[in-house]
Structure 1
């Protein structure tokens, strides 16, 4: 019999993170496109981010037929947070002489699954691509990043919003993420963590 889970954060009731999830506002509209394989992931930081941002929406799927309608929301200028050829820095995008707030589209999944989302939803290729500043380091100490600068979805969103919404800060969004990591380390034991994930 499975343990009861919190219907909001989807964590086991004994490890509910809801008390740590803030409710932060932003002019930027955030649209997270989550690959279905991420829904049951132990971290699922995209869900934590969507719960913590009042102007965010989380959609789960592989093909989003009504995506063109979502992207055409009046009063916003859409962009895709994903590296690639022709991508510009988020700072450059934010600095353009356009008063409209951003509609930030964020694919959520492994790199392979995220690329699949882009392939299955060709309208995403029509959006300007934006990237975060180089050299950011993930706080997720339990997994080796697949490449330099690779961040979890919630970390990438915090970094992006602190550019788009400057001088507002979004660090509070990482509180449940940090608690989640500390809980996983505690569950495996400090010695196991140090042996497997913290050389030196």
Structure 2
């Protein structure tokens, strides 16, 4: 077994084919408000429509991290279109366990750019940060079953659906069913090399 991860300090911006992933700043308030205030965007995620004041508070607290130094922390990065400089969404990498080398990802983008593959491209880069740079063994994504676009995205990333937890959580006034997706480091390596996830390794 390899040593537990020691931390993550990306070189910013993290570049993909079309996107830049970078820390959020106070200059992003209007762009964040444009999608995080929309009820449809927030319907199946663990936050409600946000106000400007709430976004400003988060920018100075939970979104202020530019790296991960210990488990229990989260790294939230803005997703910017490289060619235009427009912030269209954000992604988050949670470091869940140092001992078990576990993490979790989340993603949200403005609905007016949906269907262009931006969320998939950004989430793919986030998996790279988790596996290749932080040294995680396993990364999960937990998704409300009704959020079909998010579930399709997880499958496009090569993540396996491991569980369907029926009506397991009273969420925003009603019972919700959770889909749990996961990927192991060896599956990530195979997917990145050939686009097809390897079968789980049993370790």
TM-score range, shorter chain: under 0.3
Compare the two structures and name the one with the higher strand fraction: 2
Larger Cα-atom Rg: 1
Q: Please, what TM-score do these two structures have when normalized by structure 2?
A: 0.27
Compare the two structures and name the one with the higher helix fraction: 1
